[in-house]
Amino acid sequence: MSIDNPPTIEVDQPEEPTNRPAADHRLKEWLSRGYVRRIIALSIVIGLLIIPLAWVVIHFMNLSGAPASAIMVEIERTMFVFTVVSAPLMAITLAILFYSLTGWGRVTGEDPPMQESPAIRTNGTAVVLWIAATSILAGFLVIWGLVELATITSYANGSTPANQQPNGQKAIDINVTGQQWVWTFQYPDQGAVTSDTLIVPINVPLYFNVTSKDVVHDFWVVELGIKIDANPGAITNTGVTPDKLGTFNIRCAELCGLHHAYMQTKIQVVTQAEFDAWVREMGGKRTV
């Protein structure tokens, strides 16, 4: 059956709603309609096109070396999962959108069209299904989000599960000061060594105390997936355990005036031995 010749016989035979055909019968009839089938097919095609986006997104995020911590892994997993689970609804929406451009016919010209479309005022089934689907989706996203947030918070606080924390070390405290337009890192436990690049050992939990001496800055360690505002007059905290050797980016993510764009530095994740050597060298130079 196609849209061009819908069944017209029923128009003249009003029945009591109680005589409506059984639900499964109506569903079958509905599914046999040409436009329904085409929209379903279109949804599947669009869905299949959207899902690869999940990889594309992660690919862009990984270009500069991410993920370099368990937190970043969780972030990327969340992006991936969110893309995949919302793909069906997106696909259906877009399928209906594209299909309706011409699928049920269209009218051009200067004058208001005379022939009118079916007077569908509402449809209980569609409304209930849609609300159920969006609620379930939103519910899933919320629950996933809450769990993930708890997870990354515990990672940030250095209380990672033992298997992720090889030596069960104590976290290294680092005091981060933002100031127009430089970052300063101070290691209180390492004899108050100060540096303007962040040098840290791999697989050791780091715990940051962050503040600012002037305006609001934002301490963003890009490939490690942590970010926290540096506020004047307050100390904020975050933490991470780097698990990849290399040099990564620290950028200021809050407009802080003239040279905000240049308020960047690097974080070098090195081995414990290299880190100790660096501390010794720095400590020799400027012990406080």
Partner 1 sequence: MSAPVTEPLYPTTGEPVSINARRNRMGIWLCIVSDITGTVALLVAYSYLWSLNVNNAWAPPNDAWAPPTTFWLIVLGTAVATALMWWGLRQIDQGNRRGLMLAASLSMLIILVTFIGQIVQLSTFPFGPSDGAYASATFWLCIGSAIHLSLLLFLTQAIMGRTRAGRITQGNSSHVRLVAMYMTWATIAILLGAIFATVMTTSPNTNSPTFGTFQE
Partner 2 sequence: MTDTAVVHQTHDVPQPKQHGKPGGILRHTSIVTGTALGLVAAIVTYAIGSHFFVPWGTTNADASQVGLNALVAATYFAWVIFFMIGIGAFAGPIRWALGHDLTHDDAEYMAGKDQGKWRYWKYTTDHKVVGTQYLIMAMFLLGLGGLLAMLIRTELGITWAEVFDPNFYNSLIGTHGIVMIIALIIVVTGPFGNFILPIMIGARDMAFPRLNALSFWLLFAAIPPLASNLFLGGIRDGWTVYQPLASQAPIGMIGYQVTIIVFAFSTGVASVNLITTSVTMRARGMTWNRVPIFVIGVIASSVMGLVWFPMFQYSQMLALSDKVIATSFYNPIMGGSVWLYENLFWLLGHPEVYVVVIPGTAALMELMVVFLRKPLFSYKVAIAGFAGVVGISSIVWVHHMYMTGWAPSAGYPFMLSTELISIPFGFLVLVMLGTLWRGKPWTRLPMMCVYAVIWDKVVGGITGVYLSDVPVDQYMHGSMFVVAHFHYMLMGAGLFAAIGATAYWFPKMTGRMLDERLGSIGFWVAFFGFQLTFGSMFVAGLQGMPRRVLQFDNAFNISNWLSTVGAYTIGIGMLIFLYAVITSWRSGKPSGSNPWGGKTLEWQTETPVPLENFPVLPVVTSDPYGYGVPDPYDAVLEADKQPAGVA
Can you give the binding site for partner 1, defined by CB under 8 A?
175, 177, 188, 209, 211-213, 232-235
Binding mask 238-257 for Cu ion (x = CB under 5 A): --------------x---x-
Which residue, chain included where needed, has tokens 């620290």? Answer: 250
Q: Minimum CB separation from Cu ion for residue 77, in Å?
A: 25
Residue 240 binds which entry of partner 2, partner 1, Cu ion, none, CB below 5-8 Å type-dependent: none
Alpha helices in 157-224 (DSSP H): none
Residue 27 touches which of Cu ion, partner 1, partner 2, none (CB < 5 to 8 A by kind)?
A: none
- What minimum distance in Å lies between the beta carbon of 190 and partner 2? 24
CB neighbours (10 Å) of residue 92?
Answer: 19
Beta bridge partner(s), residue 209:
175, 237
State the Cα–Cα distance between residues 231 and 80, nearest whole angstrom.
32
Nearer to Cu ion, 39 or 267 (CB): 267
- By the 8 A CB rule, do 163 and 234 touch? no
Is 208 a binding residue for partner 2 by CB under 8 A? The answer is no
Which of partner 2, Cu ion, partner 1, none has residue 177 at its interface (CB below 5 to 8 Å by kind)? partner 1
Annotate 18-70 with DSSP letters as a single string. Answer: GGPPPHHHHHHHHHTSHHHHHHHHHHHHHHHHHTTHHHHHHHHHHTTS---BH
d(C-alpha 35, C-alpha 42), whole Å: 10
Chain position carrying tokens 């109680």: 18
Which secondary structure element, helix H or strand E, spans residue 203, and what is its range?
none
Choose between 193 and 260: whose C-beta lies nearer to Cu ion: 260
Return the one option of partner 1, partner 2, Cu ion, none that residue 121 interacts with (CB less than 5 to 8 A, by type): partner 2
Choosing among Cu ion, partner 2, partner 1, none, which partner's interface includes residue 75 (Cβ < 5 to 8 Å by kind)? Answer: partner 2
Note whether 260 binds Cu ion by CB under 5 A: yes
| Interface region with partner 2, contact rule CB under 8 A, candidates 142-150, 163-171, 193-201, 275-283 | 142-150
> Beta strand pairing status for 236-240 and 198-201?
unpaired
Q: Which helix (H) or strand (E) holds 216?
A: none
* Residues binding Cu ion (CB under 5 A): 217, 252, 256, 260, 263
